[in-house]
């Protein structure tokens, strides 16, 4: 799996500044979870949330190995985690898709 430079840059930043096993992050707008899968295979503790827009995507999600790492959020954008659960929240390649910031 090939990740974009933005994702690799963020992981490089974490490698230089934090202890992987103690660093947890949320990828807000994670899509199918490619970044989460890559990060977790490399020793990180990542979770993700996304808003799936059609039934096909939801069906794919329920059959995905990433189901335990991704939570579906509704249009409110509220994440299902308590405050201070994560050290970082990433939102890479998301805001260009948001109609009303």
52-80 pLDDT per residue, tens: 766 677 777 777 788 888 888 887 878 88
Global pTM value: 0.80
Answer yes or no: are the C-beta atoms of 1 and 64 closer than 8 Å. no
Lowest mean pLDDT among 35-39, 84-88, 95-99: 95-99
Q: Which residue has the higher pLDDT, 101 or 81?
A: 81
* Position 86 pLDDT exceeds 90: yes
Q: d(Cα 91, Cα 98) in Å, to the nearest integer?
A: 12
What does the pLDDT look like over 40-56, one tens digit per residue?
988 889 999 988 766 67
Give residue limits of the domains in the chain. 22-74+89-94
Lookup result for tokens 């898709």: 97
Q: d(Cα 76, Cα 79) in Å, to the nearest integer?
A: 9
């Amino acid at each position: 799996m090939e990740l974009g430079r933005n994702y690799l840059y963020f992981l490089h930043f974490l490698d230089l500044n934090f202890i992987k096993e103690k660093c947890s992050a949320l990828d807000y707008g994670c899509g199918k979870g490619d970044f989460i899968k890559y990060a977790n295979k490399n020793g990180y503790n990542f979770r993700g949330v996304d808003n799936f827009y059609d039934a096909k995507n939801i069906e794919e999600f329920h059959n995905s190995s990433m189901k335990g790492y991704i939570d579906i959020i509704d249009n409110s954008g509220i994440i299902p985690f308590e405050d201070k659960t994560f050290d970082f929240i990433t939102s890479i390649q998301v805001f260009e898709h948001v109609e009303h910031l």
